[in-house]
Amino acid sequence: MITAIDRGKNNLLGFTMGGKLTDEDYRKFIAIFEAAIASSGKISLLVQFEDFHLWDLGAA
């Protein structure tokens, strides 16, 4: 599961990633990531891992 963290700035993305990531999780993350780059240009990224169990074959 990927959950967005309230970041307060347009050029800073924050996410918590936990459990086993799926292809759907990855696609949602990439869509948000690409939209932020298109909107702000250069961005900073913070990822916090909690109880992370890697990803399934589709997300790999």
Q: What is the pLDDT of residue 22?
A: 85
pLDDT tens-digit map of 12-60: 888 888 888 888 888 888 898 898 889 888 888 888 888 877 766 665 5
Q: What is the pLDDT of residue 57?
A: 63
Q: What is the pLDDT of residue 2?
A: 83
- Secondary structure class of 33 (helix, strand, coil): helix
